[in-house]
Amino acid sequence: MDFLTLFAIYVVVVVTCIVLVCKYSGQQQTPFSILLNSVGKVIAPITPKWLQNLSQRTLHRLFHQRNNMFIYLHILLEVAVYAEFTYEVFGFCREMDTTLISLSVPYILLLIKSVFFYLCIKRDPGTVTKKKVAGQIHVYPYDRKLFHPGTTCPTCQLLKPARSKHCRVCNRCVQRFDHHCVWVNNCIGAQNTRYFLLYLFSVCAMAGDIAVLTADMLLHAVLRSGLMMASYIDEYGDKQLAGLMFVVQHLFLTFPRVVFMLGFLVFVFFLLAGYALFHFYLAVVNQTSNEWYKSRGYVCQHCHPGTGTADDPRHPAPDHSKRYYYSRGVLRNIREIFLPPQPGHKKDK
């Protein structure tokens, strides 16, 4: 089995695993959890007790407690990509007379991304506190479908504002809760969603730009070498023209790190581009990931129009029959993301 076949099998397995993870995410019983439990029951009798406890504590700390592990992993992957780009691609592109302005764009994007990344990490997402809860309750009306007035968080012992949720990882309620992101070790909520969106788009731009420059470098390397017009003698002694597969295999052997970096960047770009577009869509319709997940399968005709809110009966609530209850139009929805309403100030209707 040649190198290309092994690499193709590896890519198929990785992509299949990612698709299955996306498909079954959020479900209590998944093929992964069932398989993991089955394997655990088989190896438990032969596994030392201390090793079982250590693995359980490690997994709990990694996925159920705040930690900076994924932040360090993020930085490590970034350093590896930029080191390879600077060490091999940058110099080759300069030989191809690529302008310094074009080659400086990835570093400018890295600086921009780092600012938004830092803000995602450090910015308070909108924690519900005793001092702020009175004002936060009046920011959004209750839809009486996903969010009901008078509900108290059993952990925080505070009234839950509409669109808020208690994060088990951070152990706090967050206003307009979207999700907890392990890559920034923080919740994404009312006060930092804009930074998260800009972070996603800047990472996509960064990965896409480096991928384009790297692909251009490899293309020029092939054209300069004349591989497309070359020929070789196959195992039967016949003369064969070098086709696309021969060129790809040659690039793997000549620039192995560059090719793997390019494959990684293309994968990251499409993965994050889809994720970024999904969150941009949620911003356009004024919905959070938490609300989108909870409202899946909801049939709009089962809703009934509301006449007011419990916190302000004088102000009519939006129509409950709308699929997107909190949507106020595209421009107002986008403005709410980048200029979020502050506690004590009612959201612009």
181 among known catalytic residues: yes
Cα 331 versus chain centre, distance: 24
CA 17 to chain CA centroid, Å, is 16
Q: Cα–Cα–Cα angle for 10, 16, 21, nearest 5°?
A: 130
Q: Which amino acid is at 349?
A: K
Catalytic residue among 120, 167, 181, 187: 181
> In this structure, what token pair is assigned to residue 281?
């869509």
Alpha carbons 114 and 63: distance in angstroms, whole number: 24
- In this structure, what are the phi and psi dihedrals at residue 278, rounded to the nearest 5 degrees? -60, -45
Tokens matching residue 156: 């925080």
Structure tokens at 266: 């293309």
Letter for the amino acid at 1? M
Backbone angles phi, psi at 308, to 5 degrees: 175, 175
Q: Which amino acid is at 7?
A: F
Beta bridge partner(s), residue 159? 152
Distance CA 275, CA 4 (A): 29
**Which residues lie closer than 8 Å to 185 by C-beta, 6 or more apart?**
66, 67, 68, 70, 71, 121
Catalytic positions, please?
Answer: 181
